[in-house]
């Protein structure tokens, strides 16, 4: 399906000199844009390998969030503090933290322009900028969010309100949405529906609440094995699933949500308005403007890299991973971990002139689908083939307490203490002995 690494992993062209700001230092062997999971996993390893001062991380935020925990926070199962660390505490000690946002990238000049107008020159560039939440793409949503029963686990500013609003809910309609755009953690829009259903049952008000999941997609989950499992969960919990429904407007004062019907059916293109008493919104998402308008982007605005090597298709000294990349797989922290191993191997080989065989990314990703307290469907698969790549010997499409414990308690420690430090690249090694019959 994809060309071999030898066809795509190329030597960089000669670096062109460019003017830089007076701030020193302004030139680095490697610049990493983004201090999220993927960016720090790469920067930690490369800065230790290349030496202090050789790697810069461009990141404006003072706080780093472990976003996979937001579902647990929104359900009242964990405090937001568990998902938060000061950026200074997770920044690699050998890297230079450039506390600014990137404003533009000029790959022909090997330079990144920052928000203050200064420029950083680089020999190599890794783009790990993540993806932008676009609440404004839904008419009326920015005004309604955080009040009128409207919440979103995707926003650290509003995730705690999910639990607050669910505690107040006594009757009516509870709606949960999934947009048509690519998003990070594509399982999260429905996970909160099942946790909310459990919470309402525990409070004794479940029978008075009609729960509905609206997705703009044509399936409840992309991979058939897990789609069947989640359809069973939704049916057993009384959560109505509405396919091809894309949220386009929210009227907070009127407590209504308007959906556009997608697909090819006779109703495609029309809208339907539904009253709500609680509304959990997964916002549309989009690439950051500085990437979308750059020469690095494909037509959709994502950094255009080869799906196996993670090297840019036109600029050989540029790599990308994670949510901002064009890699055709589900955008998750698990995917970024696996991608980081491939990227670091190939980039180091290029920097050091090594003839070592290239690493290739196979599209591995994982969506831990929480279905209740102490229950979880652990979806692991290749986004390239659509086939499961399960780490453990049991059927991970079944709800398991072990899978919940692994996701809620073990993986957060792995994230903070290993992934961000560049020493965790996914469960492939574990899979070899824990599930030797797996497809990978």
DSSP code, position 408 = I
Active site residue 367: yes
CA-CA distance, 303 to 92, in Å (whole number)? 24
Burial zone of 74 (CB within 10 Å; 0-12 exposed, 13-18 middle, 19+ buried): buried
CA-CA distance, 197 to 210, in Å (whole number)? 10
Q: Which of 367, 370, 379, 419 is catalytic?
A: 367
Can you spell out the DSSP letters for 319-361? EE-GGGB--SS-B-HHHHHHHHHHHHHHHHHHHHT--PPPP--
CA-CA distance, 222 to 336, in Å (whole number)? 19
Cis geometry, peptide bond prior to residue 25 (ω within 30 degrees of 0): yes
Burial 386-425 (b: 16+ CB within 10 A, else e): ebbbbbbeeebbebbeebbebbbeebbeebbebbbebebb
CA-CA distance, 329 to 298, in Å (whole number)? 16
Phi and psi, residue 64, nearest 5°: -110, 130
Provide the 10 A C-beta neighbour count for residue 299: 7
CA-CA distance, 255 to 37, in Å (whole number)? 36
**In which region does residue 146 sit, left (phi positive, over 0), alpha (psi from -120 to 50) or beta (all else)?**
left
DSSP code, position 418 = I
Q: Which residue has the tokens 């998003």?
A: 183
Can you spell out the DSSP letters for 268-322? TT-EEEEE-SEEE----EE--HHHHTSTTB-TTSSB-B-TTT-BBSS-TTEEE-G
Please list the alpha-helical segments (H only) found in 353-410. Answer: 401-405
CA-CA distance, 65 to 40, in Å (whole number)? 12
Tokens of 16: 């062109």
Q: Which of 31, 55, 129, 185 is catalytic?
A: 185
* Catalytic positions, written as ranges: 185, 367
């Amino acid at each position: 399906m994809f060309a071999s690494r030898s066809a795509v992993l190329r030597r960089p062209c000669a670096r062109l000199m460019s003017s830089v700001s007076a701030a020193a230092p302004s030139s680095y062997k490697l610049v990493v844009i983004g201090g999220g999971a993927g960016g720090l996993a790469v920067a930690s390893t490369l800065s230790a390998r290349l030496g202090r001062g050789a790697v810069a991380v461009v990141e404006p935020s003072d706080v780093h969030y472990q976003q996979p925990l937001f579902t647990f926070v929104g359900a009242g199962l964990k405090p937001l503090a568990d998902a938060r660390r000061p950026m200074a505490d997770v920044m690699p000690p050998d890297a230079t933290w450039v506390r600014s946002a990137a404003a533009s990238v000029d790959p022909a000049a090997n330079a990144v322009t920052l928000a203050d107008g200064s420029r950083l020159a680089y020999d190599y560039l890794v783009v790990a900028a993540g993806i932008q939440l676009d609440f404004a793409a839904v008419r009326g949503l920015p005004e309604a969010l955080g009040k009128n029963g409207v919440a979103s686990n995707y926003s650290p500013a509003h995730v705690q309100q999910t639990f607050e609003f669910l505690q107040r809910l006594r009757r009516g309609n509870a709606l949960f949405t999934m947009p048509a755009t690519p998003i990070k953690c594509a399982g999260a829009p429905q996970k909160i529906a099942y946790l909310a259903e459990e919470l309402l049952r525990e409070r004794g008000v479940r029978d008075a609440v009609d729960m509905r999941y609206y997705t703009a997609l044509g399936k409840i989950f992309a991979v058939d094995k897990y789609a069947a499992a989640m359809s069973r969960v939704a049916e057993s919990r009384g959560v109505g699933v509405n396919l091809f429904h894309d949220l386009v407007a929210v009227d907070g004062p009127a407590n209504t949500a308007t959906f556009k019907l997608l697909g090819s059916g006779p109703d495609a293109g029309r809208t339907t308005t539904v009253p709500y008493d609680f509304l959990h919104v997964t916002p549309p998402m989009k690439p950051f403007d500085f990437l979308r308008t750059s020469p690095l982007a494909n037509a959709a605005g994502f950094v255009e890299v080869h799906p196996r090597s993670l090297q840019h298709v036109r600029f050989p000294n540029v790599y990308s991973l994670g949510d901002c990349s064009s890699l055709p797989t589900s955008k998750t922290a698990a995917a970024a971990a696996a991608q980081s191993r491939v990227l670091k191997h190939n980039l180091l080989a290029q920097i050091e002139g090594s003839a070592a065989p290239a690493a290739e990314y196979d599209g591995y990703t994982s969506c831990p689908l929480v279905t209740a307290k102490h229950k979880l469907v652990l979806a692991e698969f290749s986004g390239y083939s659509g086939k499961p790549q399960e780490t453990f010997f049991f059927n991970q499409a079944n709800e398991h307490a072990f899978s919940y414990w692994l996701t809620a308690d073990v993986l957060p420690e792995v994230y903070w203490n290993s992934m961000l430090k560049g020493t965790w690249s996914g469960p492939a090694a574990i899979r070899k002995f824990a599930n030797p019959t797996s497809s990978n």
